[in-house]
Amino acid sequence: MMMAFNITPITGREMVQKNFIKLPDRALSYSDRHVSLNERFSVIERGYYLDSTSKEVPAPIVVRPQPISDILSKDEFTAKIKAETEKRRADASRKSERSQVSTPESASTSSSTESVSP
């Protein structure tokens, strides 16, 4: 929520306010951002008060993407998912075959040593 601030003088603090005459003109620098407690207290110490008013901000426009089910029929969508799943399984089986190709060499050397011994 966006906030706009007005700087209003505190009654009875005129002696301090005369040293900070231009402070009410700086109210715009406090608007539309988070104002820390130190900033608020420094304004109060100078004899002024930060008065906040909320600005009406229009709600953001949200664009909803069109769901896949609206683009593809249910059968097409299911077929697409099945094809992707099969592709992943095939890739996984290829990877496991590659890893098994490197392990039989070590197994063949151990079997050759067994056949040599009497």
Rounded Cα distance between 23 and 35, Å, is: 15
Tens of pLDDT, residue by residue over 61-111, are 777 776 665 667 778 888 888 999 999 999 988 888 888 776 655 555 555
Tokens of 5: 């601030």
R_g over Cα of the chain: 37
Tens of pLDDT, residue by residue over 3-55, are 788 888 999 988 998 888 888 888 888 887 888 889 989 999 999 988 887 76
Predicted local confidence at residue 96, as pLDDT? 85
